[in-house]
Amino acid sequence: MKQLLKMKIAVLGGGRREEALLQYMVEMGARVVALSKPSFPIKGIQVVESLAALLEGATILLAPASGIDENGRIREPFGEDIIFDHDFFAMIEEGSLLFMGYAGDGLKERLKEEPITLIEYLLHKEVATLNAIPTAEGAIKLALEGMSTTIQGSKTLVLGLGRVGLALAWRLKALNASLLGANRSKEGLFKGVEMGLQVIPLKEIDRYLGEVSLLFNTIPSLVLDRHRLHLLTKEALLLDLASAPGGIDFEAAKDLHLKASLYPGIPGLFFPEKAASILKDTLPSIIEEEVMRAQEVR
Ligand code: NAP
C-alpha cells in the first residue's frame, strides 16, 4: 500500500461489492474521494461536489466491477451519474490508471485515443482464480433451478477447463454427475485428468452432444454454433458462463427452441459478500503493482 497512500483515488461509482474494498483502503490511510455520498457507510471517504474536483490530481480512477453500460454510464453509481463522455475524458489527468472489472470492446476502442491505461481487474489471475469459486457455485444453483431431475446421474458437459470450468467440474463430479469435460489445449485436459475427470478434446464434442442433458460453457468464443446446436436435444439445459457475448449462438438456439441463457456477473449477483471480500483481498495489491509498473515505464 506504500504507493497507494501517496495518491488520490477517485471513486467512479460502486455498489455493495465495492463497499468492503473502499472501507479497507480508507482504513489503510489511502485518500479515497467520491462524487457523492455512498448509500452505505464508509467512514473517512472524502466527498466532493463536482466531477472536476473529483478528477483533479487523481491518477487512480476506480470504476466498479460491473463497468459501464452501452451508453457509457457507470452501472452502479453512489448517487450522481458519471458518464464516460467527451467532457469526462477531457478532465482526466494524463497517465491515469483506470481500474474497472471488465470493459467492453467499445470502451477499449475509445480508450486507445486517450492517455489512460485501462486495467480490467476481474481478468487478473488472483481475482479470476478466487471468483471461479462463487461462479461455479452460482452456476450449479442456476442449473438446479432449471432442472426437473438431480445433477446426480445427469449427462453433463463442461466446455472449457480453465479456472471456472475446473472449479465447476469437480463440484459437479462431487454431486455424482455423469460428467465430461472438454478443452482445446492439452494443458486444460491434463488438469482435468489430474482431478480425476473424464475429458475429451474440444474438437471431438460433436459425437457427445446428442446425449447431454446439462451443458455449461466457459469458453469466451463461439463454440456452440448453429451446426453444433442442431446436435443437442430440446431437453438439454445450456448455461453460458463465458463473458459476453458468450460461446453460444443464441439466435440459433432460439430458432431451435433450445433452453440456453447467458449468465454474466454471477459472483456479484448471488454472493455479494464473497465478491466484496475477494475484491478487498486482491485489488489493493493489484493497484499497487500497476502503479509501480506505470512509474517504471515513465
Ligand atoms: P480461463 O481460466 O482463461 O479459461 C478459459 C477457457 O476458455 C480455457 O478452457 C480455454 O481453453 C478456453 N478458450 C479460450 N478461448 C478459446 C477459444 N478461442 N477456443 C477454444 N477454447 C478457448 O478463464 P476463466 O477464469 O475460467 O473464465 C472463463 C470465462 O468465464 C471468461 O470469459 C470469464 O470472463 C468468464 N467468467 C464469467 C463469470 C460469470 O459470472 N458468468 C465469472 C467469472 C468468469 P485453452 O486451455 O485451450 O486456452
User: pLDDT tens across 94-116, in order?
Assistant: 999 999 998 988 889 989 989 89
Q: Is the pLDDT of residue 289 over 90?
A: yes
Say if CB 119 and CB 275 are below 8 A apart.
Answer: no
**Can you tell me which residue has the cell 427452441?**
257
* pLDDT value of residue 15: 80
Mean pLDDT of 35-44: 79
pLDDT band at 74 (very low <50, low <70, confident <90, very high): confident
Task: Name the least confident of 40-54, 135-149, 152-166.
Answer: 40-54
Identify whether 115 is preceded by a cis peptide bond (ω within 30 of 0).
no
**Can you tell me which residue has the cell 454427475?**
177
CB atoms within 10 A of CB 107: 18
Return the ligand 1 atom nearest residue 267 CA: 40
Mean pLDDT of 68-76: 80
Say if CB 209 and CB 185 are below 8 A apart.
Answer: no
CA distance linking residue 60 with residue 86, whole number of Å = 19
Cell of 168: 465447476
CA of 128 to the centre of ligand 1 (A): 10
* pLDDT value of residue 38: 73
Does ligand 1 come within 6 angstroms of the Cβ of 217? no
Ordered strands of the 214-217 beta sheet: 199-201, 178-183, 155-159, 214-217, 237-240, 259-262
CA of 3 to the centre of ligand 1 (A): 32
**Can you tell me which residue has the cell 492439452?**
186
For the chain, give me the number of helices (H) and strands (E)? Answer: 13, 12
* pLDDT value of residue 68: 84
- Rg of the chain's alpha carbons, rounded to an integer? 21
pTM value?
Answer: 0.89
Cβ neighbours of residue 26 closer than 8 Å, sequence gap 6 or more: 32, 42, 43, 44, 45
Does ligand 1 come within 6 angstroms of the Cβ of 220? yes
Cell of 85: 463522455
Q: Is the pLDDT of residue 79 over 90?
A: no
Mean pLDDT of 132-156: 98
Cell of 172: 459437479
Q: Which of 170, 184, 279 to mutate to test the pocket of ligand 1 (most atoms within 8 A of CB)?
A: 184
Q: Which helix (H) or strand (E) holds 110?
A: helix 105-111
Mean pLDDT of 161-169: 98
Cell of 79: 448517487
* pLDDT value of residue 1: 66
Say if CB 11 and CB 34 are below 8 A apart.
Answer: yes
pLDDT band at 286 (very low <50, low <70, confident <90, very high): very high
CA distance linking residue 29 with residue 296, whole number of Å = 24
* pLDDT value of residue 104: 84
Return the ligand 1 atom nearest residue 220 CA: 32
Q: Is the pLDDT of residue 298 over 80?
A: no
Does ligand 1 come within 6 angstroms of the Cβ of 180? no
User: pLDDT tens across 205-255, in order?
Assistant: 999 999 999 999 999 999 999 999 999 999 999 999 999 889 999 999 999
Mean pLDDT of 20-48: 86
Average pLDDT taken over every residue of the chain:
92
User: Quick one: what percent of the chain has pLDDT higher than 70?
Assistant: 97
Q: Is the pLDDT of residue 76 over 70?
A: no
CA distance linking residue 70 with residue 89, whole number of Å = 17
CA distance linking residue 136 with residue 143, whole number of Å = 11
CA distance linking residue 73 with residue 77, whole number of Å = 9
Task: Name the least confident of 67-81, 117-131, 261-275.
Answer: 67-81
